[in-house]
Structure 1
Amino acid sequence: MTEPADNPVFDIATAYRKTAALIAAVKLDLFTAIGSEGSSLEHLASKTGASVRGLRILCDYLVSLGLLRKQDPAYLPTSISKMFLDKASPFAMGRSIEFLAAPEMLDLFLKDPAAYVIRGGSDGLAQIAPDSPIWVRFAKAMMPFAAPAAKRVAMYLSAHGQTPYTVLDIAAGHGLYGIEVAKAFPDALVTAIDWAEVLTVAKTNAEKAGVADRIRMVAGNALELEWGGDYDLILLPNFLHHFDFETCVSLLSKVRGNLSPDGQVIGVDFVPNEDRISPPVPVMFAFQMLATTPGGDAYTTSELDAMAKKAGFVGATTKSLSPIPERLIIFET
């Protein structure tokens, strides 16, 4: 008989247990409590308030997942947990669990998976009220993922094209893309659009970066607001994937109409290869859009090019942001 550990179907069917263990560890701040030198169960119990029995079983499971090492009587971090799960690390992304594994997200995915496959989409998060705290959690949770991509976008813009003086950051969220552009171009004035509560996250980040005086916050629905027009640079970070093809065309037409004569439009998104079965992360992301939006998708380069042309652009090309899984999208005017 095949052992469960050697059976990929068993592993896929029970993957929720890995998610639960990670949620528990993050909520207890377990990896920070363990630190770089390791810790005994008794010490962890005093630091976290959890039972010794519960911590033993959780930590042993995390060892089997490669997130801890065991050296009796202590548990020690691995290189992975040191980098990504200890709050002392600049790459810590434990807070991403607050959105990626939020109850709302788990419910969307697991309550009735066949239903959104049958329908070809879900009411999803797109239908949650704009003042829902999930969007604030989203903005904060995505910061560790967005920070390196935002820096690479700013580097690309610094090496290509003209200096932008007026910048529009659509669905700015945490604001990191507009902030990095403002840091790279000291004369740039950035307009950031998102829901009011979400913009408080962007404002805090702008203040920390020392560019708050050059970033204007505009609250509202980016699809409905008047943007003001004549922007030298319009940023579309991880936004198009929320919508169906025709809605993307409509949005891009609006982008084209608000661009200065020599302006640039730059997007960032998960872009699968034309075969749509590689690379793994964009393929997974297409399924995420199926489960969480009415018509969103991970679009291929040819699809992005087609929607760009239909919206009045010359076309669209994509460039790698490796090792980041998203790609840079250049909309050609």
Structure 2
Amino acid sequence: METSIEHAHAGAVSPELVVDALFACRKTAAIRAAIELDLFTHIGEGKTPAVLASATAASERGVRILCDYLVVHGFLTKEGEQYKMTPSTSTFLDRNSPAYMGSAVEFAAAPEVLDNFLRDPTSVVRNGGSMGLANMSPDNPVWLKFARGMGSFTGLSAKLLAGEISSWAMSPKKVLDIAAGPGVFGIEVARAFPSAEIVAVDWGAVLELSRQNAEKSGVADRYRTIAGSAFDIDWGAGYDLVLLPNFLHHFDLPTCAALLRKIIASLAADGRIVAVDFVPNEDGVSPPFPAAFSWEMLVSTPAGQAYKQSELAEMAKLAGLTGVTVKSMPPTPASLIVFE
């Protein structure tokens, strides 16, 4: 069934799209409150405001108004005085679900992240990028929030990446994971290849969490870390596989090409470079999430963007490579990028 917002997109004269955009930050605030209260976990098969207020240590009035708002926006249903989960909220926002994504709110709705967008977006557009380094400042604490919160968001992409590499003829022994974050990409490769050694690069505080996740996954004995900027540190050589998960989009094309040249110099014979990123179609406006991601980068970095395949090919050429292969990774919005 067509929603009113979809109808507005279709060409009917309606204020729905404008109103939705003007009030969108209220939706973010509501979902953050619900996640931090563990509201979705407590609802289970259905609860009244009084029961939920007791379970979440919140006021009954506050819970009732929040739940009604979440019903309006499709996160909950309401039958009489009882609120119930939808299949999607049950899958992704119940803390007991293996597909739980609620932890992503720590990064996605972090005050410093939202401030990048809401403080002065007009100046960002005029400037053609963030005012100053924004999220790209050295050792920015926001990346620890990213590592803590976004593992669930990137976990499926990591599993798909490891599965894809497992289908190749190669069996990597030494793997470099650049901008490892929570470590899920390197860890999944380590699990897929029991003899692989992983070297993770990121800021020091982030790598503490990466190491903890490696321990939980049983690969700590094959997991070591190097703290610092990927552009400056010496990470050694002889790598059979270099991973670039969700990293290239933070920088302009020449900077990415320079990083690729550094990586090439550290590869073993027949070594490969694989990135995971959001790749828009050549029209620049589809699919929705990858196409919209350049706005994310405009606001939070000086010169980053989501790169189309043609731009990735140009990047590869500047680095001395022959090209790229791009493969979508459904159901995620990410793509697997193999530099050749």
Question: Would you call these one fold, judging by a TM-score over 0.5?
Answer: yes
How far off its partner does 1:129 sit? Answer: 4.2
* Residue segments in structure 1 that go unaligned for 5+ positions in a row: none
Q: Residue 34 of structure 1 is aligned with which of 32, 36, 43? A: 43
Name the residue aligned to 1:72.
80
Q: Aligned partners of 2:249 and 2:22: how far apart in 1?
A: 27
Match of 2:315 among 299, 307, 313: 307
Contact 2:285 2:292 in 1 (8 A): no
Label 1:233 to 1:127 Cα distance change in 2 as closer, same or farther (>3 A): closer
Map of 1:87-236 to 2, 5 A cutoff? 87-122=95-130, 123-130=132-139, 132-236=140-244
Q: How much does 1:304 deviate? A: 0.5
**For 1:147-169, what per-residue CA distance to the aligned partner results, in whole angstroms no more than 9, with x for missing partners?**
11111111111111311111100
CA change 1:168–1:263 in 2 (3 A) is same
Once the two structures are superposed, residues 111-169 of structure 1 have per-residue CA deviations (whole angstroms, 9 ceiling, x without a partner) of 11111100000035334440x43211101211112111111111111111311111100
Give me the TM-score of the superposition, normalised by structure 2. 0.94
Q: 1:37-60: per-residue Cα shift (whole Å, max 9, x none)?
A: 211111111111211111111100
What does residue 323 of structure 1 align with? 331
What is the alpha-carbon distance in structure 2 between the residues aligned to residue 192 and residue 85 of structure 1?
30
Alignment RMSD: 1.6
Distance (Å, rounded) in 2 between the aligned partners of 1:217 and 1:309: 30
1:8 pairs with one of 1, 17, 24: 17
Instruction: Specify the alignment match of 1:263 in structure 2.
Output: 271
Any stretches of 5+ residues in structure 2 without a counterpart?
1-7
- Secondary structure, in 3 states, of the residue corresponding to 1:42? helix
What number of residue pairs does the alignment pair up?
329
> 8 Å contact 1:245–1:307 — kept in the other structure?
yes
TM normalised by structure 1 equals 0.96
- Matched residues in 1 for 2:89 and 2:330: separation? 22
> Which amino acid counterpart does residue 261 of structure 2 have in structure 1?
S
What percent identity do the matched residue pairs reach?
52
Per-residue deviation at 1:240? 0.3
SS for the counterpart of 2:334 is strand
Match of 1:279 in 2: 287
Q: 2:33 aligns with which of 24, 33, 42?
A: 24
Q: 2:303 aligns with which of 292, 295, 301?
A: 295
CA contact (8 A) 1:108 1:124 kept: no
Give the superposition deviation at 1:252: 0.6
Change (3 A) 1:267 1:117: same
